[in-house]
């Protein structure tokens, strides 16, 4: 059952064209989702799950809303 909403932010859309918002399966980790999208994990700076920052090792649960945020230019 696909019920995790994943949104790519900013320049990540460039790296996964046509996939800026998609639904994925719960049970896998954020890192697995990133790899499935073909993204370099280093390009994903901040992982937000339901508005909260999580590690990429976070295992997705039913209904999670995920935002993958790149870091464009640092501090």
Which position among 5, 28, 36, 54 is part of the footprint of another protein (CB under 8 A)?
54
Closer by beta carbon to another protein, 4 or else 68: 68
Cα 71 from Cα 61, distance rounded (Å): 25
Per-residue CA distances from 56 to 10, 18, 47, 66, 69 (Å): 18, 22, 7, 11, 12
Pick the closest to residue 6 from 55, 48, 57 (CA basis). Answer: 48
Q: How far is the CB of 66 from another protein (least distance, A)?
A: 12
- Decide: is 43 part of the binding site for another protein (CB under 8 A): yes
Return the H-helix or E-strand segment holding 35: helix 30-36
Which one of 3-11, 22-30, 58-66 is the stretch in contact with another protein (CB under 8 A)? 3-11
Residue ranges binding another protein (CB under 8 A)? 7, 9-11, 40-46, 48, 51-56, 67, 69-75
């Amino acid at each position: 059952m696909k019920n995790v909403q994943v949104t790519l932010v900013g320049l990540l859309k460039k790296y996964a064209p046509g996939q800026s918002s998609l639904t994925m399966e719960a049970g896998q980790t954020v890192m697995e989702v990133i790899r499935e999208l073909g993204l370099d994990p280093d390009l994903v700076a901040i992982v937000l799950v339901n508005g909260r920052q999580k590690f990429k090792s976070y295992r997705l649960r039913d209904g999670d809303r995920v935002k993958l945020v790149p870091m464009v230019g640092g501090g």
